[in-house]
Amino acid sequence: MFRKFSMLGVLLGAALLNAGNVLASDESRQELEAVVEEGGAAQFIAQAYAHAKATVKDTTLEAISKDLRPHDHRFFPDGGGAVPTVLFFHGCSGPTESHEQDWADRLNKAGVGMIAVDSYKGRGIDWQKACNFQAMTPWQRSADIFATVEDVKKDPRVDADQLYLAGFSHGAVSIWAALGQASGKSAPISLTEWPSVDFDQHVQGAFMFYGTCMQPWTVDVDAVMFLGTEDRYIDEQVCQAYESNHPKDAGALDLEIYDGATHTFDHAEPNQANIDAGSVYDAAATEDAWQTMLEMIQAGRKKDGK
């Protein structure tokens, strides 16, 4: 019934598949399959982007912060002092408490903080519309990343020079969009100008789970993409095709591809939407991803002399 689609010729169109990870019904999934089967993915994305550009109202980082900050979940290790901190961006079905807690436990035990950002609650966003690219597209949601990078500088528990981004599905695509925008100093949808947040001075790495590879980026931020071969919605070959074309002057991009892993493979207690989308917890893949993340964070600490 379900199959994985090859989007090698249309890298940007692959983002559509990411949006389908938790569509509300089998009928919705079949409609998504029809769009791709008919070769309309690139047109779909172009229309979604154009619709967002035409309908999303201009705002400011300050207004975005007011929407986001009351709903942050902040997890920090015991003790004092500023620590490296991961900024955590959920998938299009919204935050899952157990998922956040599992990752926070790992990070805190390693002396790393985590701030989970809820892009929906303060705005009343319907997650199904976000999954269908009808609201909060990644090119708009990337502004949440820039606002958060700026805001966390005010938290004394955060080492603002040792920030890492972690995104899952829609969150991963939003991070990729942010990397592209930071490369060209181009404003996200909803902002009228590039936000001067010194992005690449503060962000040392990016961890993208079951996202996809789109336009090239050149900002000096190392990144890892974690993918599974049994993901119904993301074809790992898209990133494999992109890898050799990744700009040499950009931060490094590594691919970690797990045989047999599904979409949302790191959810030990997946929500119903993820279960319906074929999610199966893969403890071995999750542990390997964690060790990869930890290695980058520890290397950043040594580089920074901390």
Report domain 14-304's class.
Answer: alpha beta
* Cβ atoms of residues 256 and 226 within 8 Å: yes
* SS3 of residue 206 by DSSP: strand
DSSP 8-state class, residue 177:
H
pTM beyond 0.85: yes
User: Given this model, what pLDDT does residue 48 score?
Assistant: 82
The CB-based long-range contact list for 182-186 (8 Å cut-off, 24+ gap) reads: 182/217, 182/219, 182/221, 183/216, 183/217, 183/218, 183/219, 183/250
Question: What is the pLDDT averaged over residues 264-274?
Answer: 90
DSSP 8-state class, residue 24:
S
Tell me the CB-side half-sphere exposure of residue 102, using CA atoms within 13 A.
15
Q: In whole angstroms, how far apart are CA 25 and each of 32, 87, 145, 264, 273? A: 11, 31, 30, 18, 9
User: Given this model, what pLDDT does residue 150 score?
Assistant: 97
Tell me the percentage of the chain whose pLDDT exceeds 70: 85
SS3 content of the chain, % helix, strand, coil (to 5): 45, 15, 40
pLDDT tens digits along 162-192: 999 999 999 999 999 999 999 999 999 999 9
* Cβ atoms of residues 18 and 212 within 8 Å: yes
Beta bridge partners of residue 115, listed in sequence order: 74, 87
User: Given this model, what pLDDT does residue 255 score?
Assistant: 98
